[in-house]
Chain A
Amino acid sequence: MATESAAMFDTDELVLNMGPQHPSTHGVLRLVLRLDGERVKDVDVVMGYVHRGIEKLSENRDWTQIILLTDRMDYVAAATNNLGYCETVEKLMEVEVPRRARYIRTILAELQRIASHCLWLGTHAMDIGAMTVFLYAFRERELILDLFEEYCGARLTYNSMRIGGLPLDLPSGWDAKVRAFCDIMDSKVEEYEELLTNNRIWLQRTRGIGVISGPDATALGLCGPPLRGSGVYRDVRKDEPYAAYDEFEFDVPLGTRGDTYDRYLIRLEEFRQSIRIIRQAVDGLPEGPIMGKVPRLLKPKAGETYHAIESPKGELGYFIASDGRSTNPYRFRVRPPSFCNLQGLRPLVIGHLVADVVALIGTLDVVLGEVDR
């Protein structure tokens, strides 16, 4: 009887092509979902729609020209990309960066982290249906874009760093504006929390959704908030301090359950920690030059190096090899956090409903420009 009725009620699986043109795939991600009703049985993650060959392109560009290309990878956190690249080359060339430049770089990177998290929060909440948070988060992101505009003239692709330091010193009064922004942002994070953190619908939509254990997350190569959400302590800023992070006090929030809600809480806490770092950096900003001693023609000696920083999305690493003869890298390779985090999508999604798929894409916070490069 049981088997007979099982055969009677057997259903075909529905193959649903989500994306690359879909409002919630954050760009041009394509998911081929195999559905049983609304439950996802399997998913193929297809990417590569914005592949521009940045890595190969970089091998034919001047060392300074590449900074501009890195802007185009994680375009919502361009300054962080600049920072990672410049530091890698500096490590390769053993250039000493002045302390003031390192402080300013830290401020820029943390502002960028807040901006990137704002975008994440907005789109993530929007995917789950809370559209007001989207506009609130973008309102605050706008303030950061204004700060960047005042600093380097650009609002999205900053090209804001140079190998050996910075192209520009801070405009006068900029630090006061950053302080004012920190005060605003503090109260705004409270506002986001009021709207979401204890909202029953938000809890039901995020708690227990996309649970991944710490060992699994490590095995998948997840990084950044998705890894810390599973309770794994890994933050490049603490483990291998770069820029001026070793001089500041900040905490690394960790999750316990490894679900979407934990990842949400972690990113919200990172807002506060970033504000804390920015305040310390602005208060203790040293005087001095902003460029180190760098030759006019960059030609690192033969060798290779890998250097990673903590981008808003996770561990952003650059591998660069130089043959010591030409004025461009011999090999240029990026370890993009979005790409590694995207690998976690399939195990997270299987067994959940279509509505959760969009929440899970959001919680991994991938930027397709960085995934595809």
Chain B
Amino acid sequence: MIDTVFWPLVKIVVLLNAVMVSVTFMTLLERKVIAWAQSRLGPMRVGPYGVLQAIADPIKLILKEDITPAKADKVMFTLAPIMSLVPAFVVFAVIPFGADPFYYVADINVGLLFIVSVTSIGVYGIILAGWASNSKYPLLASLRASAQLISYEIAVTMTLVSLILTAGTLSMVGIVEAQQEAGVWFGFIQPVAFVLVLIGGLAETNRAPFDMPEAEQELTGGFHTEYSGMRFALFFLAEYANMIVISAVIVVLFWGGWLRPFPSVDALAVLDYIPQWCWFFFKMFMVLYLFIWIRATLPRYRYDQLMRIGWKVLIPIAIANVVITAVVKVLL
């Protein structure tokens, strides 16, 4: 009973809180990094170098008035932020932060597919928010979101197939172990897949340059135009939690999860003194930094261009990648 119920529950509670806190600090990190990229300081007022801004923001959002538009669909309007947040948090259950079972909640044998399928539920939040607001900009945003999700999910899933072929397993722990056995991170074996998943991940989390459903310059905030207060904060939380999920997935799939660099070279065994979760979080941080960097640099794609890239570029490349991987796998 203690092993099957108590410890998992403790882990879940700890993990959820950790995710919440890291999301708030993620917003601070993003503001800071973008500020530095734009030769300004970013938040500096709350606490030393503005670090307490991460706490001030949620407090402000909680205290704000929560407005429901008079003509909105009340049930869906309330449900939408929850629907976008829950999947983002559920996914953390299968992400292994270390080799020891202590570092993950569950290792299910379809872990990777579980992540793909649960994150695909998250888009309902955006679509329903846009529809329930009963307003034109959010409606356009939700149409964009649904079209975008469908096209990128196919590309990403196809890409993951080639990765599954390489690893020979669907379990997240198994994939990292396969990289240990191979002695090389899959990012070096499957660079194309990495780029595809990165692009697809940006598109699925609605990050720049694919942030069309938000597009504040076009749709004035998109699906969350009509949201305020805590419900808006939930969307925000979901977006950043999704970013963290995607970066964790990328780290597990391509950059060796908790493994140190050159896992097969014994001469570097001294690196093992750094705990595994440190490696994991360091790599995750690098991917997140990349996300923020991209946002600071690139302009936004147009909705139809994004669809064209998804269907005419990414999906063919992903399929070709699967075929090549399969052929190589059979030949070797």
Contact = CB atoms under 8 A, between A and B. Distances in A.
- A and B: direct contact (Cβ < 8 Å)? yes
B209 A129 contact: yes
Contact of B296 (A22, A23, A132): A132
Nearest to B39: A139
B146 interface: no
A88 to B, nearest CB: 37
Contacts of A128: 217, 299-300
Contacts of A16: 136-137, 140
A135 interface: yes
B302 A24 contact: no
Contacts of A202: 299
Contacts of A199: 298-299
A12 to B, nearest CB: 12
A23 B301 contact: no
Interface stretch (A163-171, A211-219, A353-361, A363-371): A353-361
A302 interface: no
Contacts of B40: 135
B303 A129 contact: no
Interface string A188-200: 0000000110010
A130 interface: yes
B296 A355 contact: no
Contact of A205 (B38, B215, B220, B302): B302
A363 B135 CA distance: 28
Interface in B199-253: 208-209, 211-212, 215-220
Given A129-B217, A136-B39, A356 B297 contact: no
A358 B298 contact: no
A201 interface: yes
Given A23-B216, A38-B140, A136-B38, A353 B304 contact: yes
Interface in A10-53: 14, 16-17, 22-24, 38
A204 B301 contact: yes
Contacts of B209: 129, 201
Size bin of chain A's contact surface: 20 to 34
A127 B218 CA distance: 8
A108 to B, nearest CB: 27
Interface in A104-161: 125-132, 135-136, 139
A126 B217 contact: yes
B4 interface: no
Given A23-B217, A358-B217, A132 B301 contact: no
A37 B212 CA distance: 15
A266 to B, nearest CB: 19
B65 to A, nearest CB: 20
A201 B295 CA distance: 13
A201 B301 contact: yes
Contact of A201 (B38, B296, B298): B298
B300 A353 contact: no
B43 to A, nearest CB: 15
A23 B140 contact: no
A125 B217 contact: no
Contact of A355 (B137, B216, B298, B303): B303
Contacts of A24: 217-218
A355 B302 CA distance: 6
Interface of A: 14, 16-17, 22-24, 38, 125-132, 135-136, 139, 195-196, 199, 201-202, 204-205, 353-358
Top 8 A-B residue pairs of the complex, sorted by shortest distance between their CB atoms? A129-B300, A135-B38, A130-B299, A129-B299, A128-B299, A355-B302, A24-B217, A127-B217
30 contacts: A14-B136, A16-B137, A23-B220, A38-B303, A127-B217, A128-B217, A128-B299, A128-B300, A129-B211, A129-B215, A129-B299, A130-B298, A132-B37, A132-B296, A135-B40, A136-B38, A136-B39, A195-B297, A201-B209, A201-B298, A204-B302, A205-B302, A205-B305, A353-B303, A353-B304, A354-B140, A355-B300, A355-B303, A356-B302, A357-B218
Given A195-B297, A357-B218, 6 more contacts: A38-B304, A132-B34, A201-B298, A204-B301, A355-B212, A355-B215
